Amino acid sequence: MGKDNSELLFSTEHISTDPGLKLYEQVVHYINVRMERGDWPADAKLPSVRSLAQELGVHRLTVFRAYQELKQQGRIYVKDKSGYYAHASHAAELGPFTTYSERSSTRRIFHSESTYMADDPSVSVWRGMDGLTQVHAMNADFQFSKALIDPSLLPNRYWRELMIQVFEKHPKIAATYSAVQGDAELRDAMAQHFSTDKHFAVSTDEVLITSGAQQAIDLVSRSLIRTGDRVLIERPAYGPAMEIFRRQGARLTVTDIRPEGYDMDHIEWCLKTEKPRLFYMNPTFHNPTGFMIPDEQRKRLPELAERYSCLIVEDDSTYDISFGQKPPSPIFAYDISGSVVYIRSYSKYVAPGLRIAAVTCRPQLMDSLLSVKALVDNGSPLLNQKLFLQYFQSPRMQQHIKKLCIALQIRKETMEASLRDSGWTWTSPAGGLNLWLQLPSTIKPNELLAKSIQESVSFVPGNVFDPIGAEGKTHIRLSYSYANELQIKEGLSTLLRISRMM
C-alpha cells in the first residue's frame, strides 16, 4: 500500500504476534490508544477509512469494521457525509492516583511502538512473561533459568507440625473464607515486623495480603492504569511486571539501572516530560541484575514522586536474601506523602506454595486495591495465611533466613569461581538469587540457549528482561538459587564448553 511495514507504527508483523486476537480488534485497540493519549481528542475528526487503512497497512473493510465496533461502544460517532468523530465521553482525565476500573472488553495489547516508548521497535521472541514461560518450560538437568529456591533449602519438615497446630486452633478453617484484605492477625504481625525490622510504621489497616507479589503488581495495575497511560520502568526489568502493565494498555518508558543505581537526572526528566502514572522498581537485589539502589537515591525518590504526581511501586521480594551488610531501608520508609506502594513477598524463600505477599500503602489507595482484590479472588486462602502466620511468628523464621543466606552465598561463590576464566563479566551481587552476565560480542544468547538446552543446561537470555525488546544484546541471567554446588560446577562446565565453540 505504498509503505514499508517496517516503518509503520502498527505493522502486519506486530498484528500477527497475538494469534488469538482478530485483526479488526487490534485496530479497535489502536484507535482507543490514540484517542486516550490525546491524539484524537473529544469531537476530533478521525482519519477516513481509506487513509487509516493505508496508514496501518490493512484492508479498508478491517478499518470499517473497527469503526462500527467503536460506534456500538459509544466511543465514536458519525456525522452524515462528514466521517467519524471521537466521542466526548472518552476524554475525561484522571487525577494522578485516581483508579480506573471500567475498561472496554476489547482492550488488548499488541506489540508496537504505540504501547511503549522505545528506540527500537523490534520485539524478541524471548521477551517478557511469555519468554520466561517458554524458557521455564524447557526440561533441563542444570536449571540456571529459575530464580527459585532449591526445595531442599526450604523448611519442609516443619509444615506438617504447623498444619496440625493450625487445625487445633481453628478446626473449621478449611470451611472459612478470609476477609478480602487478609487475616487480621497476619496483617497485625506484618505491621509490627515492618515497624521493628524495616523502620517504618504502618497500621494493620494499611496492609493487604495478596496471593504472591505478582498478584500485588496486577492489583496495582488494574486499579491505577488505563489504556495509554505511561509507566516508568527499569531496564532491564522483571518480565511478568512488564506484561502486566502492557495488558492494561500502558506505554512503557525506561530508565537504566546500573551497579551504582539510577541516573537521577534522567528519572526527573522522565517524570517531568513523560508524566508517568507510576514508576515500578525493584531496588533491592534487583531481578535480574542483583543491583541495589543506594540510600541517598532512596531518600530522593519519594520527593520526586510527590513533586511530579507519580506513584512509586516498590517491589521488595528478596530484601532478606542478603550476604553481608543489611540493605538500606525501603524507599517506603522515606515516604511522607503517600507516593509509594510497598510490595513485600515472603513465600518464595519460605514456602512458595503458600503464595503470601503483603502490599502496604496509605489509605487513599487501599480502598481501590480492595475493590479489585474482591473481584479477583475475594481474599487469599485463609488456611495459607494462618499456616504462614504460625511460622512467621516463630523463632524458626529468622533462623531459616540466616541459614538460607549462607547456603545461597556459597552457591553464588561457586558459580562465580566456575566462571572466573570464562571471559564473561559481571558485578558480584550482595544478595538475591541471580548473576547478570555480559558475554563476548561474538556470542548470541538466544543461539547459546538453543545449543545448551540440547545438553540439558538452561538460562535466561537478557532480552527477556528488556522493556524495549531490542536485539543484539549479550547479557544473560544465571540463577544460582535452584541448583546445588555440584550441579553448578557441572552445568557451567558444559555451558562454557558450548560457548567456546560458537
> What is each CA distance from 281 to 63, 166, 228, 358, in whole angstroms?
38, 36, 20, 16
Least confident of 30-44, 125-139, 459-473: 125-139
Reply yes or no on whether the pLDDT at 112 is more than 70: no
| pTM above threshold 0.85 | no
Integer Cα distance of 502 and 500 in angstroms? 5
The per-residue DSSP string of 62-105 comes to HHHHHHHHHHHHTSEEEETTTEEEE-GGGGPPPPTT-------T
The vertex-345 CA angle with 226 and 369, nearest 5°, equals 35
Identity of residue 195 = S
Q: Which three cell numbers stand for residue 300?
A: 530522593
Nearest to 166 by CA among 351, 390, 382, 354: 390
pLDDT tens digits, one per residue of 169-185: 999 999 999 999 999 99
Of 194-203, 360-369, 392-401, 479-488, the one with minimum mean pLDDT is 194-203
Q: Is 265 exposed, middle or buried (0-12, 13-18, 19+ CB in 10 A)?
A: exposed
Share of the chain above pLDDT 90, in %: 66
Q: Could you tell me which residues come within 8 angstroms of residue 415 by beta carbon, excluding any fewer than 6 positions away?
A: 435, 478, 480, 488, 492
Type of residue numbered 113: E
pLDDT of 472 higher than 60: no
Mean pLDDT, residues 398-421: 97
**Amino acid identity, position 286:** H
The pLDDT tens digits for 195-223 are 887 678 999 999 999 999 999 999 999 99
Across 61-65, 363-367, 368-372, the highest mean pLDDT is recorded for 368-372
pLDDT of res. 88? 67
| Higher per-residue pLDDT: 413 or 247 | 413
- Given a cut of 90, whether residue 308 has pLDDT beyond it is yes
User: pLDDT (tens digit, 9 = 90+) per residue, 278-290?
Assistant: 999 999 999 999 9
pLDDT at 89: 52
Give CA–CA dist 220/284, Å, rounded.
20
Instruction: For residues 3 and 11, give the distance between their C-alpha atoms in angstroms, rounded to a whole number.
Output: 10
Strands 311-315 and 340-345: parallel
More confident site: 498 or 123: 498
- Alpha-carbon distance of 109 to 15, in angstroms, equals 10
Give the pLDDT of residue 108. Answer: 31
Task: Give the span between the Cα atoms of 470 and 467, in whole angstroms.
Answer: 8
Cα pseudo-dihedral 298, 235, 342, 244, rounded to 10? 160
Tens digits of residue pLDDT in 113-122: 323 333 332 3
Place of cell 540463577: 479
Separation CA 99–CA 380 (nearest Å): 22
Q: Are 302 and 337 in contact (CB under 8 A)?
A: yes
Rounded CA-CA distance 437/428 in Å is 10
**Statement: residue 267 has pLDDT above 80:** yes
Q: Lowest-pLDDT range, 25-29, 96-100, 322-326, 489-493?
A: 96-100
- What domains does the chain contain, in order, with CATH numbers? 5-113 (1.10.10.10), 128-148+398-500 (3.90.1150.10), 154-394 (3.40.640.10)
**pLDDT confidence of residue 50:** 86
pLDDT band at residue 125 under the 50/70/90 scheme? very low
Better-predicted residue by pLDDT, 69 or 424: 424
**Does position 462 have pLDDT exceeding 70, yes or no?**
yes
pLDDT at position 131: 66
Mean pLDDT, to the nearest integer, of 233-239?
Answer: 94
In this predicted structure, what is the pLDDT of residue 7?
33
Q: Is 14 helix (H, G, I), strand (E, B) or coil?
A: helix
pLDDT tens per residue, range 72-109: 777 898 886 678 889 865 433 334 444 433 333 333 33
pLDDT of 365 above 50: yes
pLDDT at 6 over 60: no
Which residue's entry shows cell 532478606? 320
Measure CA of the first residue to CA of the last residue in the chain; give whole Å. 41
Instruction: Give the pLDDT confidence score for residue 437 in this predicted structure.
Output: 98
Average the pLDDT over each of 84-88, 255-259, 311-315 and give the range with the smallest value: 84-88
Q: Which of 289, 277, 275, 301 is nearest to 238 (CA)?
A: 289
Indicate if the pLDDT at residue 134 is higher than 90. Answer: no
Question: Quick one: which of 304, 288, 309 has its CA closest to 436?
Answer: 288
Mean pLDDT of the chain: 85
Buried/exposed code over 472-499 (b: 16+ C-beta within 10 A; e: otherwise): ebbbbbbbbbbbebebbeebbeebbebb
Average pLDDT (136-143) is 85
Give the pLDDT confidence of 424-459 residue by residue, as tens digits: 999 999 999 999 999 999 999 999 999 999 999 999
Could you tell me if residue 187 is left (phi over 0), alpha (psi between -120 and 50 degrees) or otherwise beta? alpha
pLDDT score for 54:
83
Rg of the chain (C-alpha set): 24
Q: What is the pLDDT of residue 17?
A: 41
Report the C-alpha gap between 28 and 23 in whole angstroms: 9
Work out the percent of the chain whose per-residue pLDDT is above 70: 85
User: So what's the pLDDT on residue 20?
Assistant: 52
The rounded distance, in Å, linking the Cα atoms of 54 and 127 is: 29
